[in-house]
Structure 1
């Protein structure tokens, strides 16, 4: 029963032009077929393909960790994890039917509904964004908070991504129009840090482990910290459900047994995370996810982000309303469309 109650880009223009192509190219590079139905409730080759908006980002850690722990296999579901640098590209792969699920931010479910696409979160990984607004070391004198965004170039993972959404909210909420600053798609990891160091952006929004690596390299400092529920409440006025597994509602309705298995595997992972140390979690992850920072720094990045995760995959009761309020602050689509929040997620498979 449904709950009553979502490659490095140098310039923003190029990011927009390549958004659709990138989602397809990742799949092609893996040598996969692109069916959206058939075989074991997944694609034509029997796999359930899940696109992640950055597999090495700590905010999406449950995706790879579930695979590393063997929980997909335990539940009898054949999952293939794919990755893109930004959530908006992962969203594109889902809407185009190239994958069956996306691990990305819940807020995309509201944005898509306003655009006539019905998708829903089936497992809610997190109750806070896990995002951090940072300022480069070179720009600290002129950029002390969101009120100083005017005239600045600010890094986001991709245009139309959740980092883009939240940057716009922070600007508008602090009296700066979205037309008064320039969002620049710079991805995450080293591409983000290089953009800070080279001065192509004065600040930006990113996640762990990029934040900890940036601080270690003294490339910048923190302006707004939303890695915890308290940080989310301070910056956004409430809990902001973010990373989740979301899928097209029509596919969910037609493959409930598969969705139930996926959900069970992810919830087992969330529980495992809640009962193990950051060091134990880090040890289970691929070493290249450390982004060159080393195991200790990576464990610290996980520790900084762990409070954002739920323990049961259930949507926070007040979360969807916060997301709707935040997006409606700057998004004309949401301002002119009455989103039906109860259609943007379900707790049916996690309860």
Structure 2
């Protein structure tokens, strides 16, 4: 076991989160390093779009005390949707948003003067998977034509990347498939298990849990098919960024340490570290999910948000009919805190 992990003590509170249509306990711990405890911590309120194993580097940073090492007391809440997460930061209820960067483009184009700026990227591929009701080792995307598919919220990154992939295969999402979009994100897997749809598009752990229940089978990765996309990033208001550069540098350093740990350790080792964040998920299942994400190169090895990635996300928004006007990279992305 990693020595850094063994010497940490866990305190804090448990928050009840709704994930995959069921109540899932997710512990949010305040961790202190070995030796003298840093009592002069600056509280940072982070609102994450969802609580998912997909974001393993963040939870590694939490569980191994990397934020405390950087002088930060991290308070984590879950927004359950990029729109809600963005609103929390803009309204002052949170300091940093963790979500798809498309939300920062939306609010900028709405004319918000204190707009959100992306300062660190965590994942680089879509994290959702196509789950079939029947086992299909020879799945082709064209198999979705004429079928009922549970999708995501219109205008959200998961749905737009999924539709982007469909269009790459010559499939019109609105005409060629029966796309179900009236089910809340937290309830899609439950609806599928209950009999709705021929296919569903799911994040982890929902996709793997459906498989383990024998109710469906993962047949394709949206992330592998879409290519590299700046799927999730950290952002804050222009005003907070201007006044808290040292704090944001420390925050980014903690995240990059988490990324490095994930890069250098096995899925089993990472699973053991972040298991306290997902108490209702078996550690072996967590390991399987982390390995699945690692195999498709989902995790960035640094937080640097490339300009080409920002261009691609605007291309996807434009193709989805969700972009009123393109935004300059320099306006909504800063890389001053990141390493390359």
Match of 2:215 among 219, 229, 236: 219
1:14-29 map, 5 Å:
none
Of 76, 97, 106 in structure 2, the residue corresponding to residue 102 of structure 1 is 97
**Gaps (5+ residues) in structure 1?**
1-6, 11-29, 31-44
**Matched residue of 2:218: which SS?**
strand
Q: 2:263·2:301 contact (CA, 8 Å) conserved in 1?
A: yes
8 Å contact kept, 2:130–2:199: yes
Q: Which runs of 4+ in 1 moved over 4 A?
A: 7-10
CA displacement at 1:153 relative to structure 2: 4.7
Counterpart CA distance in 2 for 1:90 and 1:96 is: 10
2-structure distance, mates of 1:196, 1:144:
20
Residues 1:168 and 1:259: Cα distance change in structure 2 (over 3 Å): same
1:146 Cα shift?
A: 6.2
Does 1:91 pair with 2:81? no
- Per the alignment, residue 304 of structure 1 pairs with 292
Specify every segment of 5 or more residues in structure 2 that has no aligned partner in the other structure, as ranges.
1-17, 22-27, 29-40
Q: Does 1:72 align with 2:61?
A: no
- Counterparts of 1:1-351 in structure 2 under 5 Å? 7=18, 47-55=43-51, 57-117=52-112, 118-137=115-134, 145=141, 148=144, 152-156=148-152, 158=153, 160-173=155-168, 174-178=170-174, 181-188=179-186, 191-227=187-223, 231=224, 235-236=225-226, 238-287=227-276, 289=278, 291-292=280-281, 294-306=282-294, 307-332=297-322, 334=323, 336-351=324-339
Work out the CA distance in 2 between the residues paired with 1:299 and 1:261: 29
Query: Scaled by the length of structure 2, what TM-score is found?
Result: 0.76
Instruction: Write 1 or 2 for the structure with the bigger share of helix.
Output: 1
SS state of the match for residue 73, structure 1? helix
CA displacement at 1:73 relative to structure 2: 0.6
Cα RMSD after superposing both structures: 2.9
Q: Deviations over 1:223-270 (max 9, x none)?
A: 43134xxx1xxx33x410112212222211221111111111111111
In structure 2, do the counterparts of structure 1 residues 291 and 104 end up closer, same or farther at CA, with 3 Å as the change threshold?
farther
Structure with the largest fraction of strand: 2
